Amino acid sequence: MAPYIDDKAVVNGTADDVSSGVQNLKLKNAEPVQVDKGPSYPYYYPYFDINEKFPPTELFEHTDPGLRADPSKPNLLANATTRVLNPYIGTEVLGVQVSQLSKEGLDELALLAAERKLVVFRDQDFKDLSPERQIAIAEHFGPIQRHPTSGNVKSFPEFHVVYRDGQNDRRLPRTQNGLESLTQVGWHSDVSYEKQPPGTTFFWILDQPKLGGDTQFASQVEAYKRFSPAFKKRLEGLTAVHSAVPQANYSRERGGPVRREPVETEHPLVRVHPVTGEKALYVNKGFTKYIVGYKQEESDNLLNFLFDHIAKGTDFHIRANYEPGTLVIWDYRLTVRHTT
């Protein structure tokens, strides 16, 4: 309903009368003004230090904890309630507190994440643990990747902070060829350009809007399974270059940090998971730039087909939504994602 002047206003009076009436202008049925009280967990507010530098990432020996797990998962699911969210990706788990799991339970969690690609835990106390304790739990699954350009937590570069509010967007707008994109949504696998990209990944929400903030995931295993035997054979032996250069340049041009010099790394188009033995596509539009040995047009044609296949495969997508206390864990060797 339009604003109205209350009955104390004098419509046909003097300029002073009208001025007085305007001061009494009211908005009928207006929503109460929402006061931004700032983040509930200010310690995790994204921190950008252009002088923070990391050495090049070195290769390391790694044994996936899922290889040690009991396939029946008695230390993880004995008292749990589970719900399959999608036949190909995603299981919701209730009745388990991840922070209280034993080493054996964490091993079984690694296996479950590999089998189901994505696990959504509800009613967790994880966000209220100390940063040191959060890091200790995550390190059970392997060394933590420290992001070269994104916001982290002061004194704790192991964290990768995603932050938005009504006045600030702490994500960089996604662009193509230097032009602003229509949307910030883009399928990606974080830091896939590293020599040893991430596997088991933890993601939890501190504050959330009434609507939005969900994360959409796609199964790269099911994406691969959809191909014909002849097409799968075509992909065998192919590698593609994943590049950190555009991300680093974008941050540097805008005065952001580049904590580690960007790298470019070849990865196979199809990876084999070390625990389950499943084959999965390993390409993503965010960082995969070209296929080694192909000419430009050939590479573009094949990669664009794969990107399009992943983006349009809605039956092997899952939209993970958040409630207070939600903790989402996925295996980045088998998935791509984007956040809305």
Q: What is the pLDDT of residue 168?
A: 66
What is the rounded CA–CA span in Å between residue 108 and residue 74? 8
Does residue 182 fall inside a structural domain? Answer: no
Does residue 310 fall inside a structural domain? Answer: yes
- Ordered DSSP codes for 37-62: ---S-GGGS-B--TT---PPPPP---
Four-point Cα dihedral 256, 259, 263, 266, nearest 10? -100
What is the rounded CA–CA span in Å between residue 44 and residue 135? 14
Q: What is the pLDDT of residue 177?
A: 60
pTM attached to this predicted model: 0.87
- pLDDT (tens, 9 = 90+) of the chain, 340 residues, equals 433 333 333 344 444 544 444 444 444 455 565 667 788 999 999 999 999 999 999 999 999 999 999 999 999 999 999 999 999 999 999 999 999 999 999 999 999 999 999 999 999 999 999 999 999 999 999 999 999 999 999 999 999 998 887 676 555 555 556 667 777 778 999 999 999 999 999 999 999 888 878 999 999 999 999 999 999 999 999 999 999 999 999 999 999 999 999 999 999 999 999 999 999 999 999 999 999 999 999 999 999 999 999 999 999 999 999 999 999 999 999 999 997 6
CB 320 within 8 A of CB 120: yes
Does residue 4 fall inside a structural domain? Answer: no
Q: What is the pLDDT of residue 49?
A: 97
Query: Which ranges in the chain belong to alpha helices (H)?
Result: 15-23, 74-77, 103-116, 131-139, 220-225, 229-235, 245-253, 296-312
Q: What is the pLDDT of residue 38?
A: 82
Does residue 184 fall inside a structural domain? Answer: no
Q: What is the pLDDT of residue 32?
A: 60
Does residue 24 fall inside a structural domain? Answer: no
What is the rounded CA–CA span in Å between residue 36 and residue 228? 53
CATH assignment of the domain containing 318: 3.60.130.10
Does residue 30 fall inside a structural domain? Answer: no
Does residue 1 fall inside a structural domain? Answer: no
Q: What is the pLDDT of residue 4?
A: 32
Rg (CA), the chain: 24
Query: Which residue range is the domain that position 295 belongs to?
Result: 41-53+63-164+189-339
Does residue 88 fall inside a structural domain? Answer: yes
For the chain, the straight-line distance linking the first and the last C-alpha, in angstroms and rounded, comes to 32
Counting the structural domains of the chain, the total is 1
